[in-house]
Amino acid sequence: GGGETRVRVERMFGLMDRFLKSDPSSLQKDILDHVEYTVARSRFSFDDFEAYQALAHSVRDRLIERWHDTQIHFKKKDPKRIYFLSLEFLMGRSLSNSVINLGIRDQYADALKELGFEFEVLAEQEGDAALGNGGLARLSACQMDSLATMDYPAWGYGLRYQYGLFRQVILDGYQHEQPDYWLNFGNPWEIERVHVTYPVKFYGTVEDENFNGGKRKVWLPGEMVEAVAYDNPIPGHGTRNTITLRLWAAKPSDQIDMESYNTGDYINAVVNRQRAETISSVLYPDDRSYQGKELRLKQQYFFVSASLQDIIRRFKDSHSSFDDFPEKVALQLNDTHPSLAIAEVMRVLVDEEHLDWNRAWGIVCKIFSFTTHTVLPEGLEKVPVDLLESLLPRHLQIIYDINFDYIEELKKKIGLDYDRLSRMSIVEDGAVKSIRMANLAVVCSHTVNGVSRVHSELLKTRVFKDFYELWPHKFDYKTNGVTQRRWIVVSNPSLSALISKWLGTEAWIRDVDLLAGLQEQAANVDLHEEWRMVRKVNKMRLAEYIEAMSGIKVSVSAMFDVQIKRIHEYKRQLLNILGIIHRYDCIKNMEKSDRTKVVPRVCIIGGKAAPGYEIAKKIIKLCNAVAEKINNDPDVGDLLKLVFIPDYNVSVAELVIPGADLSQHISTAGHEASGTGNMKFLMNGCLLLATEDGSTAEIIEEIGEDNMFLFGAKMHEVPALRVKGPALKVPLQFASVVRMVRDGYFGFQDYFESLCDKVEGGNDFYLLGYDFQSYLEAQAAADKAFVDQEKWTRMSILSTAGSGRFSSDRTIEEYAEKTWGIEPCKCPF
Ligand code: H2P
């Protein structure tokens, strides 16, 4: 038994705190053992990829030790836990991040060198785990890193998609989507937990059953699928704590339907069972609205149901009364995607644990917190009632019951204002009767968080105005943050070393506010020189990548101007491209002698368009068409280059961000909930060219307007400008660049017509025309500053120095204290 085993192991080995040693020769032996026994190649002959696999397994062993210790410690202490429910996690690569957080990167690098391998080269062998679309998903990943590093008792829960976000391939300038079968060569960073499985039910009917002299509801499901856990250990930095990201995969249920096997149609019966696996097969690309997609709803319920069974099982292991549940469990809803969890907790408590409705409701109201990441109405999910009724009939009843009680209460508070009541209802009547998942989340959560201060204002005054007036205390915000471990230490090691040298400590890696210490040195010429050197080396690395990928040679003395993010009209990549066309046109029309005054630029754009988002795809094509023209124009030479980086993902960002001089965050004011890319660039000493949108407003407070290039209409001006519409004055330059596209200057005249229509003739919803003039002025200011290298370097240092507030460590601490009520639980040995 367990107890005896423990005694025996202790007698044999003692209570060693670490079984695995991390000196170079132990590491070498481990790697070779994994080459031989795990990868099953001869230890005398293996290639880079096999070496990477062995290395990864050796790191994984070390992660597992710490992870076990952490889990045992949590179990013993039984603190309140935070469960972070998210349909998306963009983890990227794990190797470098793990060895850095474990503090054994150099040891591994030395060990490998003697074996004839370079750590960096092996690290490049790893593919990205791309189980998410963009900012929301990368934020979850950053927050997991902070939760681990700050010793919080946390679990992440999500779906283990077999296909992550599609690979973007550019052919003739057009985006093509290809499947990302990322598990092809196995995934050493996960641990399959064959024993941790739960049945998940779908479809069927709800019946009344006699119970204790009364009636109760029983759900008789029509389909059963098994959820299997895959655990991804997440190591903290400078701590033994290693937490769990548990992702669920769908497998056919263990329960065999004898009926279909007895009819003789064995093959079809097996094929039908196999269909279960489709639930976790593919991540939905961000398609702005998922309304009415059954598989999407199935995915949501599948991961919610499995996670809650796991959470409740863990709770019941050491507690007998559900009244303690809110003291031990905090459930975080990452956007509306997991909000079925609310109805599911009610169902489990009432139907399975037999609590009465009011007692269950009292518990539900104390455990959920909800964070929304968007201001776009289409981002707020709605589920057609018909669909919910067929897939989850009992949940629909529960949601109706919640809504009934809530509306009755509401009538008492606000009277019979039917317009307002219908706006605030969880159920939307209309052509298609639907459930508003955001309203469900707001009604049932104790806290509704926005992701920046500006976003929170928009939630209170527009998106959730009615709710804010009713429950002002529920509304709060936690400005997003990013982890400096991945975004400086892992991705920019030379800057990291430079910062530590000048601060005289590495403590900023855990205590990022220390970066502010660089402010005092911002004028130091020695620091300037070293700073520029580091930046130049990063630019060279990026230039090599650009050449290898596109064949375009770029000069590192040019300004590297970057915009990387999902392609979306509100993010205004089109404004950037039109600005580039203007720059091109100016150079073309200049006297030759004047060209020497032009500040050379390399414009870099990257990002994926959702497969069904036609306009976004046209923007990509336009970028490539303009690049084709400019890059091959001998009049322009090194003065201007445009590069579209295909297949933008986390590891591409890790390479591009440290090499950027200027980065663009140019959404129409009032549209970007927060933005997190801006924070990554800021930390790396890249200057921002930005609108005062999302979290940028808070960045301004930290580093001052003078250290960045701001432009554009302000948030409060936008609605009035839209009303003016066609009457708005648009600068001549704008009309003339759009005309170039319309007239086929870059080819594909017909194809680009609808794109031009989107920004002209009163259709310019995102105000590209209106903002164009001030955009060009901000660009000119950036050119001017770049020429003054001393000024630029000072601004760059001050950017890094002022980035401390934008660490996810700060965000997580705020959530822990203000929203979740959890405390650190540090593993002692
Ligand atoms: C979204 C928002 C961003 C926000 C991020 C994380 C959905 O990311 O639009 O403004 O910073 O969530 O909260 P993105 O657009 O990058 O996919």
Distance CA 334, CA 583 (A): 41
DSSP 675: -
Distance CA 552, CA 536 (A): 18
Distance CA 705, CA 731 (A): 25
Ligand 1 pocket check: which of 373, 483, 679, 695 to mutate, most ligand atoms within 8 Å of Cβ? 373
Whole-number Å distance, alpha carbon 458 to ligand 1 midpoint, is 15
DSSP 807: B
Upper half-sphere CA count for residue 398 (Cβ side, 13 Å):
29
All residues at 6 or more sequence positions from 655 whose CB lies less than 8 Å from its CB, including other chains: 491, 541, 542, 545
Atom of ligand 1 nearest to the CA of 139: 6
Backbone angles phi, psi at 427, to 5 degrees: -100, 130
Q: Is residue 352 classed exposed, middle or buried when 0-12, 13-18 and 19+ CB atoms within 10 A define those classes? A: exposed
**C-beta of residue 226 within 8 angstroms of C-beta of residue 252:** yes
Is 366 noted as a catalytic residue in this protein?
no
Whole-number Å distance, alpha carbon 138 to ligand 1 midpoint, is 9
Whole-number Å distance, alpha carbon 380 to ligand 1 midpoint, is 13
Predicted-assembly ipTM surpassing the 0.90 threshold? yes
Question: Residues in the chain with pLDDT < 70?
Answer: 1-3, 6, 9-10, 13-18, 256-259, 288, 829
Amino acid at 703: I
Give residue 29's pLDDT.
96
Is 592 noted as a catalytic residue in this protein?
no
CA 112, 118, 122 angle in degrees (round to 5)? 95
Give residue 257's pLDDT.
67
Here the tokens at position 483 are 């982890």
Whole-number Å distance, alpha carbon 239 to ligand 1 midpoint, is 30
Whole-number Å distance, alpha carbon 451 to ligand 1 midpoint, is 9
Distance CA 696, CA 663 (A): 12
All residues at 6 or more sequence positions from 536 whose CB lies less than 8 Å from its CB, including other chains: 556
CATH numbers and ranges of domains, the chain: 78-93+128-479 (3.40.50.2000), 492-806 (3.40.50.2000)
Give residue 829's pLDDT.
67
Upper half-sphere CA count for residue 506 (Cβ side, 13 Å):
11
Q: For the chain, percent helix, then strand, then coil, each to nearest 5? A: 55, 15, 30
Give residue 773's pLDDT.
98
Atom of ligand 1 nearest to the CA of 694: 10
Ligand 1 pocket check: which of 676, 695, 715 to mutate, most ligand atoms within 8 Å of Cβ? 676
Candidates 643, 668, 648; CA nearest to 575 is: 668
Ligand 1 pocket check: which of 86, 131, 136 to mutate, most ligand atoms within 8 Å of Cβ? 136
Distance CA 239, CA 236 (A): 6
Distance CA 446, CA 437 (A): 16
Distance CA 90, CA 83 (A): 17
Whole-number Å distance, alpha carbon 597 to ligand 1 midpoint, is 38
Give residue 19's pLDDT.
75
Distance CA 182, CA 167 (A): 10
Q: Is residue 511 classed exposed, middle or buried when 0-12, 13-18 and 19+ CB atoms within 10 A define those classes? A: middle
Is 571 noted as a catalytic residue in this protein?
yes
Candidates 83, 27, 97; CA nearest to 55 is: 27
Candidates 412, 413, 383; CA nearest to 400 is: 383
Distance CA 140, CA 90 (A): 7
Closest C-alpha residue for ligand 1 atom 11: 675
Q: Quick: pLDDT tens for 367-422.
A: 999 999 998 877 789 999 999 999 999 999 999 999 999 999 999 999 999 999 99
Determine how β-strand 174-178 pairs with β-strand 167-171. antiparallel
Atom of ligand 1 nearest to the CA of 672: 10
Closest C-alpha residue for ligand 1 atom 15: 135
Whole-number Å distance, alpha carbon 711 to ligand 1 midpoint, is 21
Is 676 noted as a catalytic residue in this protein?
yes
Whole-number Å distance, alpha carbon 673 to ligand 1 midpoint, is 6
**C-beta of residue 544 within 8 angstroms of C-beta of residue 555:** no
pTM of the predicted model as reported, rounded to 2 decimal places: 0.97
Which residue out of 60, 486, 565, 583 is catalytically annotated?
Answer: 565
Whole-number Å distance, alpha carbon 718 to ligand 1 midpoint, is 20
Distance CA 764, CA 780 (A): 24
Which residue out of 374, 676, 696, 793 is catalytically annotated?
Answer: 676
Ligand 1 pocket check: which of 478, 674, 698 to mutate, most ligand atoms within 8 Å of Cβ? 674
Atom of ligand 1 nearest to the CA of 133: 17
Whole-number Å distance, alpha carbon 61 to ligand 1 midpoint, is 34
Ligand 1 pocket check: which of 374, 572, 691 to mutate, most ligand atoms within 8 Å of Cβ? 374
Atom of ligand 1 nearest to the CA of 480: 13
Going 156 to 160 to 161 to 167, the CA torsion angle's sign is positive
Helix (H) or strand (E) holding 130: strand 129-131
Give residue 289's pLDDT.
72
Whole-number Å distance, alpha carbon 426 to ligand 1 midpoint, is 25
Give residue 7's pLDDT.
75
**Residues in contact with ligand 1 (CB, 6 Å cut-off):** 133-136, 139, 373-374, 451, 480, 565-566, 672-676, 694
Which residue out of 93, 337, 373, 568 is catalytically annotated?
Answer: 373
Atom of ligand 1 nearest to the CA of 676: 11
Amino acid at 223: E
Closest C-alpha residue for ligand 1 atom 16: 135
Here the tokens at position 57 are 């397994």
Which residue out of 60, 486, 535, 566 is catalytically annotated?
Answer: 566
Give residue 15's pLDDT.
59
Candidates 390, 159, 387; CA nearest to 291 is: 387
Distance CA 63, CA 233 (A): 7
Distance CA 562, CA 686 (A): 10
Which residue out of 57, 73, 571, 582 is catalytically annotated?
Answer: 571
Is 565 noted as a catalytic residue in this protein?
yes
Atom of ligand 1 nearest to the CA of 379: 7
Helix (H) or strand (E) holding 158: strand 154-159
CA 239 to the chain's CA centroid? 24
Closest C-alpha residue for ligand 1 atom 8: 135
Is 240 noted as a catalytic residue in this protein?
no
Q: Quick: pLDDT tens for 497-530.
A: 999 999 999 999 999 999 999 999 999 999 999 9
Give residue 16's pLDDT.
55
DSSP 482: B
Instruction: Report how far apart, in Å, the C-alpha atoms of 294 and of each of 201, 223, 284, 298 are.
Output: 15, 14, 12, 6
Atom of ligand 1 nearest to the CA of 134: 17
Candidates 768, 772, 642, 791; CA nearest to 708 is: 791
DSSP 206: E
